[in-house]
Structure 1
Amino acid sequence: MGMLNNAWLVLGLIGQTVFSGRFLLQWLYSEYKQRSVIPLAFWYASIIGALLLLCYACYKKDPVFIVAQASGLLIYLRNLQMRRRGRKEPASESSESSELAS
Structure 2
Amino acid sequence: MQGSPAWVYAIGFLAQAFFSARLLYQWIVTEKAKKVLSPAAFWVLSIFGSYLLFIYGVLRNDFAIILGQFISYYIYLWNLDLKGLWKGLPFALKSILLLTPLAATFFLMRDIPAFAAAFFQNKNVPFWLLVFGSVGQVLFTFRFIYQWIYSTHRRESALPIGFWVISLLGSASIIAYGIFRLDPVLILGQSFGFVAYIRNIMIDYSNKKHISDEE
Same fold (TM over 0.5): yes
RMSD: 2.2
Q: Which structure has the highest helix share of the two?
A: 1
1:81 equivalent in structure 2: 202
Q: Which amino acid aligns with 2:157?
A: S
Contiguous gaps of at least 5 residues in structure 2: 1-122
Displacement after TM superposition at 1:56 (Å):
0.3
Report the secondary structure of 2:159's partner residue.
coil
Q: Which runs of 5+ in 1 are unaligned?
A: 95-102
Q: How far apart are the structure 2 equivalents of 1:54 and 1:86? A: 30
2:145 aligns to what? 24
Instruction: Give the TM-score normalised by structure 2.
Output: 0.38
The share of aligned pairs that are identical, in percent, is 33
Deviation readout 1:41-83 (Å, 9 max, x if unpaired):
1111111110100000011121221100111122112211221
CA distance in 1, matches of 2:157, 2:198: 21
TM-score using structure 1 length: 0.74
Aligned residues between the structures:
89
SS at match of 2:132: helix
Amino acid at match of 1:86: N
Equivalent-residue separation in structure 1 for 2:130 and 2:175 (angstroms): 13
1:41 corresponds to which of 129, 144, 162: 162
